[in-house]
Amino acid sequence: MASRKKKLQGLVAATITPMTEHGEINFSVIGQYVDYLVEEQGVKNIFVNGTTGEGLSLSVSERRQVAEEWMTKGRNKLDQVVIHVGALSLKESQELARHAAEIGADGIAVIAPFFLKPWNKDVLINFLKEVAAAAPALPFYYYHIPALTGVKIRAEELLDGIQEKIPTFQGLKFSDTDLLDFGQCVDQNRERQFAFLFGVDEQLLSALVMGATGAVGSFAFRDLSTLCSNLVLECRRRKPS
Ligand SMILES: CC(=O)N[C@@H]([C@@H](O)[C@H](O)[C@H](O)CO)[C@@H](O)CC(=O)C(=O)O
């Protein structure tokens, strides 16, 4: 059973993977990156090896090392580290999921496989379930990003009954502009304690109004938008239910 120690909410920074000019990962700046997020941006949750981090362009070995470095440098500074472990190969995805558990990550997220695509909800759920089972103690998030995966199965359809199939399911990272789908996800799962993390920064305010519990993004954490997002999230947190 996944440890539900703390719900992932509020702002979650999708981290870039720093590189040297020779195309190697620049591990030496990750410590400063943690300090920048925490001290200057007030963000204590991160999403590693996702789209912004170009996880799918890294080798499995690089993805493991990047995840380890964020865990090490974020210890006692960050609240939650979620690792994206999606891959075309189920075995690689499972290896990354197991690794995330071993290094003490707070959750894993998975996109739909995008070359030979799942052709319906059941096929997609079966893939996700196999990955989640490789890290049975970790909260699991489905990363819905149809514009990049080409997998158009609506998130609302996927969420219907998902916890019976994936007991560790804890939330959705929704990176699509279809606010109708997003709103239906929220509405139809009100009695569940899912995290609804919105991933299109430009529509964040609308998504918050509709019930997003947090945001994973790269762009919202700047200047005025940081302030706005934090304020709205704080208001939502205080709103009596
Ligand atoms: C496709 C993409 O990169 N989306 C960004 C957004 O923050 C995006 O940069 C922003 O909305 C600007 O278009 C994040 O949702 C990415 C993200 O969460 C991730 O790195 O996995």
- Give the pLDDT confidence of 158-187 residue by residue, as tens digits: 999 999 999 999 999 999 999 999 999 999
Where along the chain do its domains lie? 10-238
- pLDDT confidence tier of residue 1, bands split at 50, 70 and 90: very low
Direct distance between the N- and C-terminal alpha carbons of the chain, in angstroms, rounded to an integer: 27
> What does the alpha-carbon distance between residue 6 and residue 17 come to, in Å, rounded to a whole number?
26
Average pLDDT (16-30) is 97
Residue nearest to atom 6 of ligand 1 (CA): 217
Q: How many angstroms is it from 50 CA to the middle of ligand 1?
A: 9
CA distances from 169 to 7, 97, 106 (A): 12, 14, 13
Q: What is the structure's pLDDT at 7?
A: 83
User: Looking at this protein, which amino acid is placed at residue 122?
Assistant: D
Q: How many angstroms is it from 240 CA to the middle of ligand 1?
A: 30
pLDDT at 152 over 90: yes
Identify whether 173 is a catalytic site residue.
yes
Top CATH class of 10-238 equals alpha beta
Closest ligand 1 atom to the C-alpha of 109? 21
Could you tell me what percent of the chain has a pLDDT over 90? Answer: 83
Asked if ipTM goes beyond 0.90, one says yes
> What rounded mean pLDDT belongs to the chain?
92
Identify whether 33 is a catalytic site residue.
no
CB-based contacts of 71, cutoff 8 Å, min separation 6 = 81, 103, 104, 105
Are 81 and 70 within 8 A, CB to CB?
yes
> What does the alpha-carbon distance between residue 133 and residue 70 come to, in Å, rounded to a whole number?
24
Q: What is the structure's pLDDT at 104?
A: 97
CB-based contacts of 105, cutoff 8 Å, min separation 6 = 67, 71, 81, 82, 83, 138
Closest ligand 1 atom to the C-alpha of 218? 7
CA distances from 43 to 135, 139, 159, 177 (A): 26, 20, 28, 24
Closest CA to 148 of 176, 123, 171, 120: 176
- The residue to mutate among 8, 179, 200, having the most atoms of ligand 1 within 8 angstroms of its beta carbon, is 200
Closest ligand 1 atom to the C-alpha of 147? 1
- pLDDT confidence tier of residue 6, bands split at 50, 70 and 90: confident
Q: Is the pTM for the entire model greater than 0.80?
A: yes
pLDDT at 106 over 90: yes
Q: Which residues does a 6 A CB cutoff place in the pocket of ligand 1? A: 14, 47, 50-53, 175, 199-202, 216-219
